Every structure is written in C-alpha cells, then in structure tokens.
A = this chain, B = another copy of it.
Amino acid sequence: MSVIQFYFDFGSPNAYLSHKVIPDIEARTGAKFEYVPVLLGGIFKLTGNQSPGTAFAGIRNKPEYERLEMRRFIARHRLTAYKWNPHFPVNTLQLMRCAVAAQQLGILAPYVEAMYACMWEQERKMDDPAVFRQALLDAGLPADQLLELITTDAVKGGLMVNTEAAVAAGAFGSPSFLVGAELFFGKDRLRDVEEEVLRQAGGTATKA
C-alpha cells in the first residue's frame, strides 16, 4: 500500500481544505495519507519563505485570486462547513506540539479531526490556552495528559525533527505532500498527487 506524507499545520486553511478531500483520494487509490505534524512558521524560518498573506499583500489581484481559488475548491468539493477563522493568523506552536503528543498516545486521527473543526469550522481562538484546553475536553480527548506531554523535550524535539525533515524533502509551505521522493505543494496539486500514487503503484498510467 502506498503511503503519502502529508506535512500539515492547523494554521493553514489550505491544509484544512486538503484534509477534507483526503478520504476521497484514499478511497479511490487505496493509498494512505500519513499525517506528519510540522510547524509552518518553522518551515518559513528555515526556507526564508513567508505566508501568502504576507507575501502577496499589496499585490493587486493576487490575494483576490487566492481567495477565488479557495472558493472554487470549496464549491467543487462541497466543503460547506468551512469558515474563515477571525483570529487568523493563529500561533499554532502548542497545537502542533500537541499533535506530536497525540501521535505518541495513538490518538492523532481524532485529535486532527477535532482541531481542524475548531480552527476552520468553529472560529475558535486556538492559541488561547483556555480555549485550547476546552476544545480538547469538548472532543473527549485526554486534555491533562496531552498538555503535560507538550512540555516534554521528546514532543518539542519531535515537532522540530518533523519540520526539518519536511524542508529536507523540499517543502517550503503548506500543504505539502510527499509521494515516494516526489514533493507536491498546494491543495491544487492533489490531482497530481493522486496520479503520482497510481503511477508509482504501476496502475493506470497517467503520464499522458
């Protein structure tokens, strides 16, 4: 079975949108997306890149086009639950450390589902510690255990190692996907990701 690394940070709305269509791609291809928590701010620091919001500010038409492509993606995949987070940009350091902690506890999948909903469906201010703790409790996750784990060097270091590995694989932003050694950037490459999965699996040739 093919495994695709999905380098994700809850702070990226385009990573959320990708997350929502991944189950369909898994169902169609039989491949599995491995969620790898990274710190997007760390990727920007390591590569000298900036968020689109910063990089495109002041450029006429370009931010509007980015929003247009988001609306198109949302419409195409009927992602009606999506809401812009009014607290954006949100500092995701604790959220992403906690993803590494959730991984240690074997509860990454329900953690990801709950946190993405909080960020991009429920407009919560997830860098507020009280809001974050309440979100964990609301999701039925072991809040105290997770919040203790994120203070450990193993968790902090784990997030840093993931972030550095993403950059070593060629990432410079979010969302990034790795199919074998092939990197893909952006939600709009998910069709290419899917084709590459099938190509590597020797299935229906897509290099037409």
Contact = CB atoms under 8 A, between A and B. Distances in A.
B59 A170 contact: no
A172 B207 contact: no
Contacts of A172: 59-62, 65
Contacts of A189: 188
Contacts of A171: 61
A81 interface: no
A41 to B, nearest CB: 15
A130 interface: no
B48 A59 contact: yes
A88 to B, nearest CB: 22
A62 B72 CA distance: 25
Contact of A185 (B55, B65, B191, B207): B65
Query: Which of A61, A65, A189, A208 is the most central at the interface, judged by chain B CB atoms within 10 Å of its CB?
Result: A61
Interface residues of A, number: 29
Given A75-B207, A76-B208, A207-B75, A59 B65 contact: no
Contacts of A65: 170, 172, 183, 185
Interface in A39-77: 46-49, 55, 58-62, 64-65, 68, 72, 75-76
A6 to B, nearest CB: 17
A140 to B, nearest CB: 34
A188 B188 contact: yes
B76 A167 contact: no
B167 A61 contact: yes
Nearest to A61: B172
Contact of A47 (B47, B62, B185): B62
A121 B46 CA distance: 36
Interface string A148-191: 00000000000000000001001111000000000101001101
